[in-house]
A and B are shown apart, each in its own frame.
Chain A
Amino acid sequence: MSEVVYRSEVRIDRPGGPLRWAHLPAEPEPVPFGVHSEIAKHYGRQEGDYEAHATTLDYVVAAAAG
């Protein structure tokens, strides 16, 4: 195993339901994770009963693209 050159430390708060807040390095404000559109439907969420936010998969796509 090579030497670890950086450790990314994050914290996730979960108020409840699909919403989570991710506390990330170098970011003063947490970022939300949630559900929307087809992802919300997959988890059985009805429109209006959740606050739409980017999903964790959206963030993975963004991370790969960025």
Chain B
Amino acid sequence: MAGTFGGALEARKIPAGDGRLQTFAVGEIELEGHTLVLKRINVTYQLTVDPNADQSAIERVHGFHAERCPVARSIGGSVAITTHLEVAE
């Protein structure tokens, strides 16, 4: 996810390297019978931007990036993946 999100931001000239994009994820595992099953992944991005950053472009990229992430597309039918974006200057 972070690779896709960061790459899409940079394709739009919004810097996302050098520590600007921090990603935290929590995967929640439940017990189904005797089997541990990954049920959901909650991803939080913390993005540090310049004061003149295009906020609407950032929000737009955040809105569609998951559908372009290879892993999210591969497992998203079985594991609920959600993302949250925090932007700071």
Q: Which residues of chain A have a CB within 8 Å of any CB of chain B?
A: 1-18, 20, 33, 43, 55-57, 60
Contact = CB atoms under 8 A, between A and B. Distances in A.
A56 B31 contact: no
Contacts of B39: 4
Given A3-B30, A7-B28, A8-B29, A15 B22 contact: no
The majority secondary structure among interface residues of chain A is strand
Interface of B: 2-3, 6-7, 10, 16-19, 21-32, 36, 38-39, 70-71, 74-75
Given A14-B17, A15-B18, A17-B17, A6 B2 contact: no
Contacts of B7: 18, 43
